A and B are shown apart, each in its own frame.
Chain A
Amino acid sequence: MAAGARARQLGLKDVVVFDRDERPGGILSQCIHSGFGLMRYGEELTGPEYALREIKEAKRQGVEIELNSLVTEVKEDRHITVVSPLNGLRRYNCKSVIFAMGCRERTRPAVRIPGTRPAGIYTAGKAQRLVNIEGYKPGKRIVIVGSGDIGMIMARRLTLEGCDVEAVIEINPFTSGLIRNEVQCLRDFNIPLLLNHEVTEIRGANRVEEITVTARDDTGNPIRGMERIFPCDTLLLSVGLIPENELSRQVGFVLDSSTSGPMVNNILETAREGFFACGNVLHVNDLVDEVSKEGEIAAEGAFGRLSHTLPPSVNIFKFMKGANIGQVVPQQILFKKESRIAIRVCKPTGPVTLRIGEIVKKRLSLTRPGEMINIDISADQIQALADDNPSKEVKIECD
């Protein structure tokens, strides 16, 4: 929505957003809790309220929004095929394509939890949609596997709706979501959080009946004898999001294995000219405010390309990940422009200094993989980094 609105605002004429759902807003429509928009609007909004702001703006700007429309094919030459019940099968020749397909959830088989395959196993996002949009509960007695944000939020949600949430089971010694969710969802509602634990078996023939949870030692191995059985009828999995890059693969982008999203430069353009990526399809974001911002940057990039008004180039350089650096987006710098670098560390650390080359230094009191670090680099700093690093690689490290 944000990309569409910005594109129109900049003067691009035909701007259309294709979405396969029956309503716009994406995942925000089902996120009825508040906490969205503090950065972007200075207010605490719920997901649907935030989405409505973006949708209203997009419509005001004259963006065409096509719903129930699935893009089935994207070609390298930017010919796309879209299918919808209303309009049938159509092909478009696009000057610019922006990918904003978001994520899918990691599944139980992907995290290899042994056991049977009964009813009652949900991913947290699917359960959220079931509760908030369809109006049903996934079950009565719930265990949440994984301490991702969605899992913690659903722990609170289901408790509020009268379910028994027995525990949140997390394999790592730290939660994988935001600390504020740990506090506002688990601690505030007395939901037990079992860190360093894993689900070692699911039992139940037709419906989930019970699970075995085992404590792990420092090396991540299950500790014999430290097993607990949780009777329950529902499991909610919040074990990670995977950017949905099926179309990106179709076009032939190389994905960054650490983000599972396409590699981009600092106008969020991919390896193929005219293709841009933003939001969760590029990398899993923490805040939707950042996602909107990325949409705008991608639109600016698309506009720049089409109108030949891109910022001046610099000597291209890539970011090289130093110790404890897990993800860096964008992966490559091409242009001299103010850029936001989004970084995730691998493991939590105490007070550290984040360094980008020798030019940017930032002191951080606490870093965790679950909290993205956003560093704004000015155009001049970009130039300095490019000039400073003739080897075309700029190291980012955290120590």
Chain B
Amino acid sequence: MDFNAHGKEKPVKSTPDVYDVLVIGGGMVGSMILRELSRFKLRVIMVEKEPQPGFGATKATMAYIHRNHMNPPGSLRARLCMNSQSTFLSLSKELGVGYREADEINIAFDSNEEAQVRLRLDWAFKNGEKNFRTISREEVARLEPHVSRDFIYAIHSVGHGMIHPAEWAFALVENAISNGARALMETEVTGLRQEEDGFWTVDTDKGSLQARFVINAAGLYADHIAHLAGDVNVRQFPARGTFAIFDTSVSSMLRNLVYVAGIDTTFSQAIGPTLHGNVILGLGHFREPKDLSDTRVTREELDDILKIGKKIVPNLPERDLITSFAGIKVTNNLAEHNDFFLGLSSVSPTLIHALICPPGITASPGIARAILDLLSNSGLDLKEKPDFKSGSECRFKFHDSNDEDRGEAIKKDPAYGHIICRCEQISEAEIRDAVRRGAKTLDGVKQLTRAGMGRCQGGFCSLWVLKIISDELDIPLEKVTRKGKGSEEVVPWDFKGKQV
């Protein structure tokens, strides 16, 4: 992989809105990068086109932090995924966001799949992982009584993790901002050109910015961003997978992550618990989306994924399916074997591409460090801030607290006693807090607080959330959106009797 340093004399610029580094993209990777950058005495800024960090591919993944058995030994993926668990564990404590551990079982139903699972075992070993072993059918039955007995081979490993990535992206950006970084939401990059002095002018729909270095962490749209800069060599290839989430009552059926062999990029299947106690089923046969916003779920995909789900867990209760959605992943043309490409653009050494493919979430801390290495090798002076605040304010969550703490919280702020989302037990205080922190849309509040993720899917709470957003932002109810401009939920009355 291309880590060559193209050193350059550092030009000096002192006009406003000029940054040392501009990060395009506020997904998990962009957010990790911004937070890392905020450790140093640099002027850094992020631009993200959605209303909040983590609104793109980040919020549509299995959200598992994997150990290193699905990455070919010697690959960049393998290198950057090393020790992810411990990194995520310590980050979770620093930022006050959720991280939970579970074991994983990889199973094979036929000889092809068995070969792939054995390969995973081999890769784990070669990547230096411990505690991966073959297990018997009896052991699987003991660990997971609801999993099918029809498989022919299985391996077991401990210490995999699960997070809620949208919450992480948000918290990472928040922490970066508390350390002096800037982040602009709902700001879309429309142009990218390098001036004579080497600085980049980044045009957006909200104005122009200047930066010495630009990090292209635009996820699904990274090739589009590259093309804006004239770098036509970058191409990404999308594929869409389907997810189904089951009610928390189903969580008693499954304790571990269960993966069916599928190193093949056209198929991957897993079922397992989520951080919040639901069960998630994903991804099935990948299909080509019409375009990058094509995140629909088709009838065939839904039937497909449920069929495969029941292959793994025969008694999977379909009636407890509470939502389904789609996620798009990409591979790129610059790296081999479905790997990341982290490197300098062919048109300029100060434009750095972060072309991400699975396992993007797991590798994101490693990717961020690698990007910083690239920046440093390219001549960016990284001077650490002595007063870097690694920790974030700990937030009270009604759902996760015991009765004593709940009682105390309500005494301090009665809004903690007004439960808005009944299914998930989310209080008014938490929702107001989320809006004040920057979650200005219905889906944004949902991703950050979980309000609306329960069995009634916002049937009772979403009207309340709309009202709270309207109240906090002091905007009329009809201007509150589900996920950004164009997705307004309600229509106001026109008392003259005409349609508004």
Contact = CB atoms under 8 A, between A and B. Distances in A.
Interface of A: 20, 68, 70, 72, 81, 83-89, 91, 104-105, 107-110, 112, 114-120, 123, 125-126, 129-130, 134-140, 161-162, 200-201, 203, 205-207, 246, 249
B432 to A, nearest CB: 13
Interface residues of B, number: 56
A139 B493 CA distance: 10
Nearest to A109: B323
B403 interface: yes
A70 B422 contact: yes
Interface string B148-186: 000000000000000000000000000000000000000
A88 B407 CA distance: 6
A107 B414 CA distance: 31
Contacts of B299: 112, 114, 200-201
B424 to A, nearest CB: 11
B406 interface: yes
Nearest to A22: B418
9 contacts: A68-B418, A85-B414, A85-B417, A107-B322, A109-B321, A110-B319, A115-B296, A118-B487, A136-B477
Contacts of A105: 456, 459
A114 B302 CA distance: 8
User: Which 3 pairs between the two chains have the least Cβ-Cβ distance?
Assistant: A85-B414, A206-B486, A119-B482
Interface string B375-410: 000000000000000000000000000010011001
A206 B487 CA distance: 5
Interface in B285-299: 293, 295-299
Contact of B490 (A109, A118, A136, A246): A136
A81 B262 CA distance: 47
Contacts of B194: none
A83 B422 CA distance: 11
Find the residue from B299, B411, B456, B467 having the highest chain A CB count within 10 A.
B456
B489 A119 contact: yes
B412 to A, nearest CB: 10
Nearest to B404: A89
B487 A107 contact: no
A162 B298 CA distance: 33
Nearest to A120: B489
Interface in B482-500: 482-493, 497, 499
A89 to B, nearest CB: 4
Contacts of B489: 119-120, 138
B396 to A, nearest CB: 13
Given A83-B419, A85-B410, A123 B488 contact: no
B417 A114 contact: no
Contact of A249 (B249, B410, B487): B249
Contacts of A91: 403
Interface in B437-474: 442, 455-457, 459-460, 462-463, 467
Contact of B460 (A85, A88, A104, A116): A104
Contacts of A116: 295-296
A329 B417 CA distance: 36
Interface string B124-162: 000000000000000000000000000000000000000
Nearest to A114: B299
Contact of A104 (B301, B459, B477): B459
Interface of B: 249, 293, 295-299, 301-302, 319, 321-325, 403, 406-407, 410-411, 414-419, 422-423, 425, 428, 442, 455-457, 459-460, 462-463, 467, 477-478, 481-493, 497, 499
Contact of A134 (B417, B460, B463): B463
Contacts of B293: 205
Contacts of B302: 112, 114
Given A20-B422, A119-B487, 8 more contacts: A105-B456, A107-B459, A109-B322, A109-B457, A123-B459, A126-B459, A136-B492, A206-B484
A206 B488 CA distance: 8
A126 to B, nearest CB: 6
Contacts of B417: 68, 83-89
A136 B422 contact: no
Contacts of A123: 459
A56 to B, nearest CB: 26
A161 B491 CA distance: 12
Nearest to B486: A206
Contacts of B296: 114-116, 201, 203
Given A85-B414, A115-B296, A110 B422 contact: no
B496 to A, nearest CB: 11
Contacts of B295: 116-117
Contacts of A135: 493
Find the residue from A119, A126, A136, A205 having the highest chain B CB count within 10 A.
A119
A129 B364 CA distance: 43
Nearest to A249: B249
Contacts of B459: 104-105, 107, 123, 125-126
B499 A70 contact: no
A117 B488 CA distance: 13
B99 to A, nearest CB: 25
Contacts of B324: 109, 112
Contact of A136 (B301, B487, B493): B493
Given A109-B323, A162-B499, A72 B487 contact: no
Contacts of B321: 109-110, 112
A333 B403 CA distance: 39
A85 B415 contact: yes
Given A89-B407, A105-B456, A137-B491, A110 B322 contact: yes
B402 to A, nearest CB: 10
Given A83-B417, A109-B324, A206 B403 contact: no
B325 A70 contact: no
A83 B406 CA distance: 9
